[in-house]
Each structure stands twice: as C-alpha cells, then as structure tokens.
C-alpha cells in the first residue's frame, strides 16, 4: 500500500534517465518527468495523448525550487506559498528562460505547485529537480485518485507507479495566475476570496464562458485546460435536476442497459437503473467524485445521470465546474 524507500530510489533513477513516474499528491496522481529534460517531457505529452498547446504544471519541493523555474518570485507569490504550500494551489508566473518551451506549450508563463504529500515531496527532494506533473490520466478522461486508476491507463514498462493510496482531496489544484492581474484559471479547494485575502487585492474568477466556445486550433490556450469537455467518462453523461429524474428514467431508450444515477439526494432508483449515493458535504463529495464517475463508467450504462450540485459558492463551484465538463457533449 505505502511506498517504500527502495521504490522512491527506483523512481528517482527512472526520472534521472528520462523516464516517467506516476506519483500521488493530495489532489490527484501526477504523471511526473524531469521538467528540464525535453525528451522526458515530450514522452509525458505522448503517453497522455495531450495536445501540445496545453501547458504542464511544474511541481517543486518549495519556494526555493520555485525560484528556479519562474522569471521572478514575487512578494505575492511568496505570500501565497507561505499561506497555502505545500497544498493545492498552482501559481502561474512568467517563466524562467531555462524552462523548456515544451513544458509551457510555447507560452511565456509557467504554473508551479508544491504538493502536500510525503511521497511527492520525497521524490522532489530526492531528485533535487522540478517535475512536470499533469494528472495521470489519458487526456480528457477522468482524473486518477488512486494508484489503481493510473495502472488502468498506462503500461508498467512506460510508467512506474508509486503507491500512495487514495488522494485526500480528490479534486485538482486551484490554478491562479499572477502573470498580469490576479485571476483564478481553474477552481479548486482554495477559493479566489482566500487568495485575495492573502495578497490584499481582488482576484478575478473564471467566467465559465469558455464552456460555450471551442478550443482554438493553434497557440497556447487562452485559459488552458479549460476545455468544454474534460474529466469525462466514456459513457454518455448529463446533469439533472432532482425533480426531472423520474421522467428521465422512464425514457424507453434506457430500458435495456439502464442508467447509473450519481446523486446526493438518495432518490428512488429501481432496476435496471442503479444508484451511486454521494455525500452532501462538498469535501467528502470531492473526495469520491472521480471514483464514482469511474465506477459508473465501468458498469457500461446507457447513460450516466449526475445530479446537479448545489449552487453554493466555494468548493461546490469547483465540483460543478468538473461535472459540467464531464457531462459536456463530445
Ligand atoms: O492538482 C493538480 O494540479 C494536479 C496534481 C498532479 O498536481 N495536476 C494537474 O495537472 O491537474 P493538469 O495538467 O491535469 O492540469 C493543469 C492545469 C491545466 O488546466 C493547464 O492547462 C493549466 O493548469 N496550466 C498549466 N500551465 C499553465 C500556464 N502556464 N498558464 C495557464 N494555465 C496553465
Ligand atoms: Mg488533468
């Protein structure tokens, strides 16, 4: 279950020779490679099937290592790191010249984060070098919150998977840009208001307009990774509001394979339909969300029906963001 010291040293050897290692963090598992090794970073893009226009974030052991990948470690960045690192906050700043262009998809900025997980930190301190670390899933698919999820996506000869058990947080880091005005690019456990309180100036929130627009075909994405369809199961999936469920389940098209309903309300669901009951607490919900989507998908239903989360601020907004993308039409 837990990763032993020999595993960590084997992982460090792999990384030193340009290999790829999946590592646990408090949010989701990351697909790690030496950020300064272009060939290794290219391999991460290939293994994930990730479009070259979507930049990778860089994991660091702390502020000292962060100063090696950004052009300038600003006072605001230092204050945010003091408040939230190690933890689920990725800070976007102008990049240092030495960071290979492939890492940032040719863009002028880089995202850095210090993960709050003993295995990830042991790896970073042991290697002494920053690691790129996108979520360890195939591009567009459901993020991995357990080592087993990672092993389902990659062959052992391609990726050494460090075991760390289920991820504590279960939802990817908040991404905040300090490159020009402060703004949240991806919602997460840490809210814009908490960031604003630390840096003492307003922090813009994502507008969500990107959901309606297609991704550009060239150049780095304007709000990278915020593609309309993402975190998505293979089965068709859609959100529902509680009162609409009975009518949805009567659809004759669902009579054979049935629907899987993911809901926190515990509505009545009878065969051939199945219910995955979710907690009402947003932290517990986030912890179980990706595993629930995977479980639903594995049942190969006619459709996955996901109850629309409460319209509450904070973590529920981050959860809603992921679920809207997971259920966005292909
Ligand atoms: O919690 C996390 O952030 C996890 C764990 C493994 O650390 N990592 C993760 O990486 O979620 P990824 O690649 O799946 O998502 C990173 C997000 C993407 O939406 C990407 O487009 C965005 O951050 N991003 C990366 N570099 C950026 C940059 N320079 N400017 C703006 N957005 C950036
Ligand atoms: Mg991802």
**Where are the extended beta strands (E) located within 216-302?**
237-240, 259-263, 274-277
Structural domain including 320 reads 237-326
Q: Is residue 217 part of a domain?
A: no
Q: What does R_g of the chain's alpha carbons equal in angstroms?
A: 20
Q: What is the pLDDT of residues 15-71, one digit of tens each?
A: 999 999 999 999 999 999 999 999 999 999 999 999 999 999 999 999 999 999 999
Tell me: do 95 and 25 sit in the same domain: yes
Q: Minimum-distance ligand to the CA of 145?
A: 1
pLDDT of 95 strictly over 90: yes
For the Cβ of 57 lying below 6 angstroms from any atom of ligand 1, the answer is: yes
Tell me: do 159 and 290 sit in the same domain: no
Q: Any idea what DSSP says for residue 99?
A: S
For the Cβ of 258 lying below 6 angstroms from any atom of ligand 1, the answer is: no
Q: Which of 57, 105, 290 to mutate to test ligand 1, by most ligand atoms within 8 A of the CB atom?
A: 57
pLDDT of 222 strictly over 60: no
Q: Which of 35, 55, 58 to mutate to test ligand 1, by most ligand atoms within 8 A of the CB atom?
A: 55
For the Cβ of 25 lying below 6 angstroms from any atom of ligand 1, the answer is: yes
**CB contact at 8 A, 22 and 32:** yes
Q: In this predicted structure, what is the pLDDT of residue 215?
A: 46
Tell me: do 105 and 21 sit in the same domain: yes
Tell me: do 169 and 274 sit in the same domain: no
**282 alpha carbon – ligand 2 mean position (Å):** 20
Tell me: do 40 and 178 sit in the same domain: yes
Q: Chain-centre distance of CA 143, in angstroms?
A: 6
CA neighbor of 135 nearest in space, from 204, 214, 231, 205: 231
**CB contact at 8 A, 41 and 35:** yes
For the Cβ of 117 lying below 6 angstroms from any atom of ligand 1, the answer is: no
Q: What average pLDDT does range 193-221 have in this prediction?
A: 72
Q: Is residue 173 part of a domain?
A: yes
Q: In this predicted structure, what is the pLDDT of residue 229?
A: 83
CA neighbor of 304 nearest in space, from 249, 250, 246, 223: 249
Tell me: do 243 and 149 sit in the same domain: no
Q: Is residue 183 part of a domain?
A: yes
**CB contact at 8 A, 238 and 305:** yes
Q: In this predicted structure, what is the pLDDT of residue 230?
A: 86
Pick from 1-5, 80-84, 324-328: least confident: 1-5
- Ligand 1, atom 15, lies closest to the CA of 134
pLDDT of 220 strictly over 90: no
Q: Is residue 284 part of a domain?
A: yes
Number of domains the chain contains: 2
Q: Which residue has the tokens 């994405």?
A: 221
For residue 164, give the CATH number of its domain. 3.90.870.10
């Amino acid at each position: 279950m837990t990763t032993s010291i020999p595993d960590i040293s084997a992982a460090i050897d792999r990384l030193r020779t340009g290999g790829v290692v999946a590592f646990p963090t408090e949010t989701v598992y990351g697909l790690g490679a030496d950020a300064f090794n272009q060939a290794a970073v290219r391999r991460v893009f290939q293994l994930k099937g990730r479009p070259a226009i979507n930049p990778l974030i860089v994991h660091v052991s702390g502020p000292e290592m962060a100063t090696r990948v950004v052009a300038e470690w600003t006072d605001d960045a230092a204050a945010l790191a003091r408040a939230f690192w190690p933890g689920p906050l990725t800070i976007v700043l102008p990049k240092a010249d030495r960071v290979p262009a492939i890492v940032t998809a040719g863009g002028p900025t880089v995202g850095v984060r210090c993960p709050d997980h003993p295995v990830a930190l042991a790896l970073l301190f042991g290697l002494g070098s920053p690691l790129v670390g996108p979520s360890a899933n195939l591009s567009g698919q459901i993020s991995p919150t357990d080592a087993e999820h990672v092993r389902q996506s990659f062959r052992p000869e391609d990726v050494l998977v460090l075991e760390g058990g289920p991820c504590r947080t279960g939802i990817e880091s908040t991404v905040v840009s300090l490159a020009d005005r402060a703004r949240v690019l991806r919602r997460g456990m840490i809210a814009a208001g908490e960031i604003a309180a630390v840096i003492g100036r307003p922090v813009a929130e994502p507008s969500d307009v990107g959901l309606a627009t297609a991704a550009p075909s060239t150049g780095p994405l304007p709000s990278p990774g915020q593609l309309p369809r993402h975190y998505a199961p293979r089965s068709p999936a859609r959100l529902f509001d509680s009162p609409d469920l009975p009518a949805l389940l009567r659809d004759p098209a669902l009579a054979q394979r049935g629907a899987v309903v993911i809901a926190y309300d515990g509505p009545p669901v009878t065969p051939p339909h199945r219910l995955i009951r979710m907690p009402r607490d947003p932290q517990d919900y986030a912890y179980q969300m990706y595993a629930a989507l995977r479980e639903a998908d594995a049942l190969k239903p006619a459709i996955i029906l996901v109850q629309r989360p409460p319209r509450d601020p904070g973590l529920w907004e981050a959860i809603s963001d992921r679920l809207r993308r997971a259920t966005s039409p292909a």
